[in-house]
Amino acid sequence: MDKLQRRVLDFIRRRGLFQGKERVVIAFSGGPDSVALALILAELAEQGCLPLGLLLAHLNHCLRGAESDRDEAFCRLFAQRHSLDIQVERADVTAVARSRRLSVEAAARSLRYGFLGRVASDAGATAIATAHHADDVAETVLLRILRGAGIRGLGALPPSRPFGAEHPGLRVVRPLLEIGKSELLALLHSRGEPFCIDSSNLSTDRARNWVRHDLIPLLERECPTFSARSLCALNASALKVSRFLEEALDEIWPTVCRSAGNEEVALDQKALAEAPEPLRKVAADRALGILSRPPGCPPALGFEHYEKLVALARREVGTQVLLPGGFLARREHGLVYFSRLSSALPLPIRRLNVPGRVELPEVGMSIACARTEGTGPEEAARRAGASEVFLSPEETGEPLLVRSRRPGDRFHPLGAPGPARLKKFLIGRKVPLHQRDRIPLVTTQDGEIAWVVGHRIGERFKLREPAGCALRLTAHLADP
């Protein structure tokens, strides 16, 4: 075992990166960093120091034409020469970026991690090893300083982290964080081991490449006290602070979090307002991490975003904060909601026959209508609820229509003295803004609202006869 291998092994053991005998996927690009990582882990496994089963995973992003194909061929040959298993896929990143309206970099990252997660799941792996090294840490910390990150944001690259909620038990590990790029290159040159060069990494048009090729060398020349090692130390300190704050939030999270789902996270306004300011920031990050895709990767927020989020729990009802990545935070009655802006999809007008049924896939619901006999006002009042109501067929006419709200909609709720704006009714019912377009409205053919589904029927449409014909409307949620 050489000195470099011993340092990597010591780091792995100190940080507890691997948990005994397990299957590990190596994110393998064919570049010098991933080649060095594969060699080191393979040799440590062969020597019996790490009881690991290794699998290389290479995703061809198809971004550099023949160069990308060359890298793929190299990765296959490397695996063959070193008797390692490899899984290879190709992805049209440009097309995905266009269809999802993402940057090429964001689309590539999403596809890459999706690929790594599938490979790990299929192989029964419990860890994905990436080749991030000390220079990557320094560059990332410096980029975040330039962006204006806070202390937690400077904790850029932890040695280990959960992969995401969609793959519980799977971890991302970074065994090379204490090793410099020059040391990895020296290892490969001493072995005569070939590797690929990604030509896109040579251009300084990208911020990271500019930091790598121009800014860091400038700082090393002009600032004698500057070193990449100091930035790595800052990363480690910030990670400790983040871990402390996360543990503090864990203690109060059951009180702070009212609900957490794929579409929205609701935090208790009072509990959030009483929490120390740093914990309010951590709570916002956690809420956004739950909503993000993949989970656990919240959008990068700037100083102004955090300042607004910290103050939100103490602002008036209706205050909202637009966030990067298409997210919205909004102060509601007793709650602070986090949601995606795209979660509210307006419903097209659909016909509801009498009797009949209409599917509403946009909101995961269906509404059925049937005629009943012998139903009077008392029975209707007893049986009615959020998902079942009874209407007068003489007043509704047929067929009925189902749609979303529109600007200017008016509604006369059952028991109210007269009609008012639908918006006012929904505010009175404390319906969050981002949920209002998801509420189906059952209307007559001339547009009068007969039922705000899940809330109340219109006054004109109530049953009046002691026992007669009624329309029974039921709303059913689709199976998850």
Question: For position 277, which CATH number holds?
Answer: 3.30.465.60
- The tokens of 42 are what? 């393979």
Final residue of a structural domain among 343, 371, 398: 343
The pLDDT, as a whole number, for residue 31 is 95
User: Are both 151 and 265 inside the same structural domain?
Assistant: no
User: Are both 59 and 197 inside the same structural domain?
Assistant: yes
The pLDDT, as a whole number, for residue 295 is 65
Question: Residue 479: is its pLDDT beyond 70?
Answer: no
In the chain, how many domains are there? 3
User: Are both 54 and 105 inside the same structural domain?
Assistant: yes
Question: Residue 157: is its pLDDT beyond 60?
Answer: yes
For 270-316, what is each residue's pLDDT tens digit? 999 999 999 999 999 999 988 887 666 777 787 888 899 999 999 99
For 232-249, what is each residue's pLDDT tens digit? 999 999 999 999 999 999
What is the pLDDT averaged over residues 349-368? 91
For 435-449, what is each residue's pLDDT tens digit? 788 899 999 999 999
pLDDT band (50, 70, 90) for residue 468: confident
The pLDDT, as a whole number, for residue 1 is 76
User: Are both 154 and 205 inside the same structural domain?
Assistant: yes
pLDDT band (50, 70, 90) for residue 362: confident
Answer whether the bond into residue 399 is a cis peptide, omega within 30°: yes
The pLDDT, as a whole number, for residue 304 is 85
The pLDDT, as a whole number, for residue 343 is 47
> Is the residue at 431 inside a domain?
yes
Chain centroid to CA 49: 37
> Is the residue at 170 inside a domain?
yes
Bridge partners, 129 (sequence order): 26, 173
CATH (domain of 205): 3.40.50.620
User: Are both 187 and 225 inside the same structural domain?
Assistant: yes
Q: Could you tell me the pTM of the whole model?
A: 0.68
Question: Residue 7: is its pLDDT beyond 90?
Answer: yes
Helix, strand or coil for residue 120? helix
> Is the residue at 383 inside a domain?
yes
- Residue ranges making up the domain that contains 188: 3-230
What is the pLDDT averaged over residues 77-103? 91
Average pLDDT, the chain: 90
User: Are both 209 and 299 inside the same structural domain?
Assistant: no
Final residue of a structural domain among 312, 343, 374: 343
Cα maximum dimension of the chain: 95
- The tokens of 316 are what? 């008036």
For 420-424, which contacts have Cβ atoms below 8 Å and span 24 or more sequence positions? 422/449, 422/452
CATH (domain of 357): 3.50.40.10
Question: Residue 179: is its pLDDT beyond 90?
Answer: yes
User: Are both 65 and 159 inside the same structural domain?
Assistant: yes
Give start and end residues of each alpha helix (H) in 93-226: 93-100, 104-123, 134-147, 181-191, 207-210, 216-222
> Is the residue at 241 inside a domain?
no
Residues in contact with 396: Cβ distance below 8 Å, sequence separation at least 6, in sequence order: 354, 444, 450, 461, 471
Q: Who wins on pLDDT, 445 or 1?
A: 445
Indicate the DSSP class of residue 212.
I
User: Are both 336 and 356 inside the same structural domain?
Assistant: no
- The tokens of 397 are what? 């006419």
Based on DSSP, count helices (H) and strands (E) in the chain, helices before strands. Answer: 17, 22
For 372-410, what is each residue's pLDDT tens digit? 988 888 888 888 888 999 999 999 998 999 999 998 999
Name which of 315, 233, 322, 246 is nearest 278 in CA terms: 246
The pLDDT, as a whole number, for residue 237 is 94
Question: Residue 342: is its pLDDT beyond 70?
Answer: no
> Is the residue at 73 inside a domain?
yes
What is the pLDDT averaged over residues 90-107? 86
> Is the residue at 235 inside a domain?
no
Question: Residue 132: is its pLDDT beyond 70?
Answer: yes
User: Are both 57 and 180 inside the same structural domain?
Assistant: yes
Question: Residue 88: is its pLDDT beyond 60?
Answer: yes
Q: How far is CA 433 from CA 245, 262, 263, 329, in A?
A: 31, 17, 13, 10
> Is the residue at 212 inside a domain?
yes
> Is the residue at 236 inside a domain?
no
In the chain, pLDDT over 70 holds for what percent of residues? 98
The pLDDT, as a whole number, for residue 368 is 95
Question: Residue 209: is its pLDDT beyond 70?
Answer: yes
User: Are both 178 and 79 inside the same structural domain?
Assistant: yes
Cβ-contact 321, 327 below 8 angstroms: no
Question: Residue 166: is its pLDDT beyond 90?
Answer: no
User: Are both 26 and 173 inside the same structural domain?
Assistant: yes
Task: Classify the C-alpha dihedral 105-110-115-116 as positive or negative.
Answer: positive
In the chain, pLDDT over 90 holds for what percent of residues? 65
Cβ-contact 231, 143 below 8 angstroms: no
User: Are both 198 and 333 inside the same structural domain?
Assistant: no
